[in-house]
Amino acid sequence: MEMTAPFYKYGLFGDEASLLVAFLIGIGFGFFLERAGFGSARKLVAQFYLTDLAVFKVMFTAIVTAMLGVTYLAWMGLLDLSLVYLVPTHWAPQILGGLVLGVGFVVGGYCPGTSVASLATGRLDGLVYALGIGAGTVGFAFLFPLLRGLYYATPAGPLTLPQLLHLPYGVVVFAVVLMALAGFYGASLIEARASRKEG
């Protein structure tokens, strides 16, 4: 039988095994976050002071790497893109949620993933942040009856950039690569200026 991804959707493994797979991938993710220095809030917030844009560069590199990988796997017929799960778009709540997450990132110094990596290395601020995530999640659940309207507002269904922009898939891929390279160049200029100021 030919192998086609997503493996889970084609029933290669079931619900229980998928938890194990997720666990292993999660461990790997956390390991590399820590190795990149992202277990430290100082490193993470440096991007907001424009002194160290490593987070921006790492995230954009991850996006480009994954995007190219997925594109080529689909092109070779090894991955069925129509079966890859897409979180349905809800414009208003997701823009608002993004802003809340951004503010929380600046104030707390972590995003959810990095806070757990930080907690795993024994940092106290990571623990506080993770407890905050837990409290926020529970609070959201209790307030959900009030927030329901906002939560389901402005639905657009599962939406991809090629659909939204009416552009061929490959054109969007190329545009994102160009955007990333321009972003990396801009980041290097900003970092050079910051180190001149310090020096």
Partner 1 sequence: MSRAWFSKLSLEQRLALAALMLGGLALFARTDGGNVVRLDVKELAGIVEREEDHVTPLELADWILARRADYRLIDVRSDTEYAEYHIPTAENVPVGSLPDAALLRNETIVLYSDGGIHAYQAWLLLRAKGYRSVYTLRGGLEQWKEDVLFPVFAENASPDEQARIAKLREVSRFFGGKPRSGDEAPAAAIALELPRVDLGAAVGVVPRQGKKKKEGC
Choose among 195, 197, 188: nearest CA to 56.
188
In the bound complex, what is the minimum distance in angstroms from residue 179's beta carbon to partner 1? 10
Q: Which of 3, 16, 49, 77 binds partner 1 (CB under 8 A)?
A: 77
Q: Give yes or no for residue 9 binding partner 1 (CB under 8 A).
A: yes
Q: Give yes or no for residue 161 binding partner 1 (CB under 8 A).
A: no
Other CB atoms closer than 10 Å to residue 146's CB: what's the count? 9
- Per-state percent for the chain, helix, strand, coil, to nearest 5: 70, 5, 25
Q: Which of 51, 169, 190, 194 binds partner 1 (CB under 8 A)?
A: 169
Secondary structure class of 89 (helix, strand, coil): strand
**CA 115/CA 38 separation, integer angstroms:** 9
Q: Which of 80, 125, 159, 183 binds partner 1 (CB under 8 A)?
A: 80
Contact (CB, 8 A) for 117 and 40 = no
In the bound complex, what is the minimum distance in angstroms from residue 172's beta carbon to partner 1? 9
| CB closer to partner 1, 102 vs 158 | 158
Q: Which of 31, 32, 144, 174 binds partner 1 (CB under 8 A)?
A: 174
The DSSP line for 23-83 is: HHHHHHHHHHHHHTTTT-HHHHHTTTTTS--HHHHHHHHHHHHHHHHHHHHHHTTSB-GGG
Print the binding letters for residues 117-156 with partner 1: x by CB under 8 A, - otherwise: ----------------------------------------
Q: Which stretch binds partner 1 (CB under 8 A): 29-37, 43-51, 64-72, 133-141?
A: 64-72
| CB closer to partner 1, 45 vs 79 | 79
